[in-house]
Amino acid sequence: MQREAPVQGPSDPPRAAPGAPTQRVIEFFESLCPASLPRIGQIYRADASFKDPFNEVTGVDAITAIFRHMFETTEDPRFTVLDVIDDAGQCFLTWNFHFRSIGLRRRDWMIHGASRIEFDSDGLVRRHRDYWDAAEEFYEALPLLGAVLRTIKRQLRAAARESR
């Protein structure tokens, strides 16, 4: 899968290639499909934790269930890693998640987010935390709830300008 252009300025020094655990995670998520779900145990340790705006679970079976649910409730889901910061025992990834919703209101979605991933001494994921703005990236696009959230956002934005 081809990566989207990383966020890097022209004067930024070249980045080192990610270490083996980070590269394994990137390759896993960029090629994630229903057939690859049994491999989660080769990426995550048995007691790994995973948290995103909708879920907080512990254990490979629970993590696998989250991704299985993703494949059951979306069409053509795919992750594209944009940028990587790799440090001893952890990495930080920015990514885009593309998918098509299933149901009456079929549409294409793109969610921009980031992950902080911690590795154990064997290079397995022990903690995975996804950060993305569920309100902006998802809820605001929903008809009724989105209108309410956009109104609140406009009111808060105006209040911030007046306080300057």
Q: Mind listing the pLDDT tens digit for each residue in 116-146?
A: 999 999 999 999 999 987 666 555 556 665 5
SS3 of 33, please? coil
Structural domain harbouring 147: 133-164
User: For tokens 């990514």, what's the residue?
Assistant: 95
Residue 152's CB is within 10 A of a number of other CB atoms, namely 11
Whether residues 30 and 48 fall in one domain: yes
This model's pTM is above 0.85: no
Q: Edge to edge, what strands does the sheet with 74-87 contain?
A: 56-58, 44-51, 125-131, 108-119, 90-101, 74-87
Q: Quick: pLDDT tens for 16-56.
A: 567 899 999 999 999 999 999 999 999 999 999 999 988 99
Residues 122, 81, single domain; the answer is yes
Based on the fold, state whether residues 18 and 97 are members of the same structural domain.
Answer: yes
Tokens in use for 159?
A: 């209040």
**Quick one: 108 and 128 in the same domain?**
yes
Distance CA(78)–CA(1), nearest Å, equals 10
Domain count, the chain: 2
Residues 151 and 128 in one domain: no
